[in-house]
Structure 1
Amino acid sequence: FTSSGLIGILFDSQSYILKVVTAIFSFATVAMNGLDKAGDFEKLCLKEKNDANNFWKLRTDAESLLSKTVFSTESMGRIDQEFEELKRLRIQYNAGLLNVPAKTVKKASKLIHKRKDNGFCCKVQRSKMISQLFSNFKLEHPLDYLFHESLKSQREKSLFG
């Protein structure tokens, strides 16, 4: 129901030309709305990519900060400053995120559970077994920590990469 359709109803004319003009304007309005929504979708996709990129950068910075903490490569004062900066950036990025309706989240959750493939489930089970195997692994030396982290990284890559 468009504004041009409303004009056709209000004038209630039996004129063939008015009906044709109304139909043309109706199709033009629908086409313009579709193009406008397609443009909005492209903008939303770009925003989502930028948001994901920002949070990825936060994650890598946090991993770097964790490494500095574990290996004591910088003073705790400097590490505290960097941590506070990461928290500030996270709050800033969270404020700019789009709100997703709960209905959409539920629908996406159901689709994810439906589409689980056995290969992914097997990888998760294998990952849990590896975690249990290394849960008693004592980290007595920094190289032990690096070895443990590289195994963890490989496990994540096999799951998600």
Structure 2
Amino acid sequence: MSNEPLRLSRRVALQSVALASGAVLLAGCKDDQASSGTPGAVDPESGKTVPATPTVDPAVVAALTTAAGLVNGLVSQYTLIGTKYPALKAKLAAGAKYHASHLAKLQETEGVTAAKPGATSAPTSAAAALAVLAKLEKQASIAHAAAAAKVSGPQARLLAMIAASELQLGSTLLPTRKGASS
């Protein structure tokens, strides 16, 4: 056995210094300061609670709120047409279900609300009603695809998924052409 003293490597010394300085910095933090950004923090000068900063980008909330309004309008149209033309309920069931789930998914984001749709009337025939729904689906798909291009991350994927779904739903509402070749 050797009686040499243990030597500290340079790496261990630098890591120790970094950890110690990090601990000193953290010890100096105070959560009760108004500028800390902590929701519910109290401003020591005024004694008032500081409002929480938004956790979601306001532009994202605006885009998703607009999308929720469009989807809510589609839900309303599906309900109206399904009520006026009960024979179409089976054909409209999938679209109504998907739009309800899209609306719920959009509203999971903090601050997103769906505007109440305006009063509309159902077309005079079932075929015209399906054509109107197909047109609304296409318009909503275009709007949601454009909105998806302006945001990023999960919100962009959600809007793109909704746009694709609307495009597919719109195509299923129109009658298929007989004798059409590809």
TM-score relative to the length of structure 2:
0.28
Q: Compare the two structures and name the one with the higher helix fraction.
A: 1
Q: Which has the higher contact order (CA 8 A, sep 6+)?
A: 2
TM-score relative to the length of structure 1:
0.31
